[in-house]
Amino acid sequence: MRVLDKVFYYYRFRTTCVWGDPARLFIRDKTNLANTLFNTESGHITIGDNVIISHDVALITGSHDINQKGKSRKNTHPLKGNDIVIEDGVWIGARCTILGNVRIGRNSVVAAGSVVIRNVPANVVVAGVPARVVKDINE
């Protein structure tokens, strides 16, 4: 593989996508992002300092009403209330999905492939679908 091809692949996989209003996305300094989807359709996303977000992570505030059908389901979604807050020092593993309205506590770890649907306390490791606490982290 040529050097130029390697550079292209490196940057291609580090891209992010914002679906919704980018003004609803707040990312503090010293945060590492890989290719991440930020859906801000139904709330704000706030990310603290020294956060690591690994490859193929989706942070999704948007939702649709399961009681609707067809075009109504497609076009009906809340405009606020599904905020996501990721506190300082959090590590989110590859291919995780974070669904709003949740807060992930300081220094916690979300294991690869997990789906977060409720708040995560500080200083824990969560894993699974849905994510649950599997370990406490001593500071």
The whole-number pLDDT of residue 6 equals: 42
- Is pLDDT above 90 for 2? no
- Is pLDDT above 70 for 135? yes
| Confidence tier at 7 by pLDDT (50, 70, 90) | very low
Q: For residues 119 and 71, give the distance between their C-alpha atoms in angstroms, rounded to a whole number.
A: 32
| Total number of residues shown for the chain | 139
Q: Identify the residue with better confidence: 89 or 74.
A: 89
pLDDT tens per residue, range 23-34: 999 998 788 888
Q: Are strands 132-136 and 124-127 parallel, antiparallel or unpaired?
A: antiparallel
**What is the set of domains in the chain, with CATH numbers?**
16-136 (2.160.10.10)
**What mean pLDDT is predicted for residues 105-115?**
98
Q: Identify the residue with better confidence: 85 or 6.
A: 85
Q: Is 55 a catalytic residue?
A: no
Q: What percent of the chain has pLDDT over 70?
A: 88
**Whole-model pTM above 0.75?**
yes
- Is pLDDT above 90 for 120? yes
Cβ-contact 128, 89 below 8 angstroms: no
